């Protein structure tokens, strides 16, 4: 069996490198060794609250030296995805600085009126009003199509098929039952 060389590392932040504010034993030596060897690595997190700078500072206070550019958050992944879908778009966002900063850096404008996207991120203070607004924006976007959309036509076709289907089944069942009744012996 040949041993493969690992050229780069991807690792989760929470629960792998740190647990809350405490470094997991050995994580500091591991990251230091990667930096010493010049091996590329990326620290991943699904926490969209904080910016890269915030997370790098948090890790530094815990005893880990991780450069900002070696941190990748769910907020950055979201902003990259939206930028690929619609460059310089608009978004209604429920989230904190990590998410809003990533979207701004991707060229997005945050708006509460006719956004291209509604983005729900992590926040410490969810607001019933903001969530209701998000639901209304999504619902309004879903009803912006004309009455002659393929979806509506497809629904009508499906409804017609459903109306016809029982009559076909019932006539087939009647034919089968006639055959069965004529072939079966009668008892008296």
CATH number at residue 17: 3.40.50.1000
Residue 171 domain-assigned (yes or no):
no
| Distances in whole angstroms, Cα of residue 115 to Cα of each of 67, 131, 134, 138, 139 | 34, 15, 10, 9, 12
* Alpha carbon distance 165, 142 (integer Å): 30
Q: Is 100 domain-assigned?
A: yes
Domain-located, residue 188: no
Tokens describing residue 49? 């609250």
In a domain, 77, yes or no: yes
Residue 2 lies in a domain: no
* 14 in active site: yes
Domains in the chain, number: 1
- The answer to the question of residue 156 being in a domain is no
- Residue 56: inside a domain: yes
The reply to whether 28 belongs to the active site is: no
Distance, CA of 17 to CA of 61 (rounded, Å): 13
Per-residue pLDDT of the chain (188 residues; tens, 9 = 90+): 788 888 899 999 999 999 988 999 999 999 999 999 999 999 999 999 999 999 999 999 999 999 999 999 999 999 999 999 999 999 999 999 999 999 999 999 999 999 999 999 999 999 999 999 999 999 988 654 433 334 444 444 444 444 444 444 444 444 444 444 444 444 44
14 lies in some domain: yes
DSSP codes of every residue in 102-137: HHHHTT-EE-SSS-SEEEE---SS--HHHHHHHHHH
Residue 139: φ, ψ to 5°: -65, -40
Catalytic option among 7, 12, 54, 114? 12
Q: What is the residue range of 86's domain?
A: 9-142
């Amino acid at each position: 069996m040949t041993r493969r060389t690992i050229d780069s590392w991807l690792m989760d932040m929470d629960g792998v490198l740190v647990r809350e504010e405490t470094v997991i034993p050995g994580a500091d030596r591991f990251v230091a060794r990667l930096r010493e060897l010049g091996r590329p690595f990326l620290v991943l997190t699904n926490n969209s609250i904080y910016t890269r700078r915030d997370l790098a500072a948090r890790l530094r206070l815990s005893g880990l030296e991780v450069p900002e550019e070696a941190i990748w958050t769910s907020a950055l992944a979201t902003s990259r995805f939206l930028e690929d879908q619609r460059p310089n778009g608009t978004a209604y966002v429920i989230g904190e600085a990590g998410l809003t900063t990533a979207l701004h850096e991707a060229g997005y404008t945050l708006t509460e009126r006719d956004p291209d996207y509604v983005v729900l991120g992590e926040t410490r203070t969810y607001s019933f009003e903001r969530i209701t607004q998000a639901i209304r924006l999504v619902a309004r976007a879903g009803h912006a199509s004309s009455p002659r959309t393929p979806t509506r036509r497809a629904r009508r076709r499906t409804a017609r098929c459903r109306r016809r289907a029982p009559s076909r089944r019932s006539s087939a069942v009647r034919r089968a039952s006639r055959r069965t009744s004529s072939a079966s012996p009668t008892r008296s």
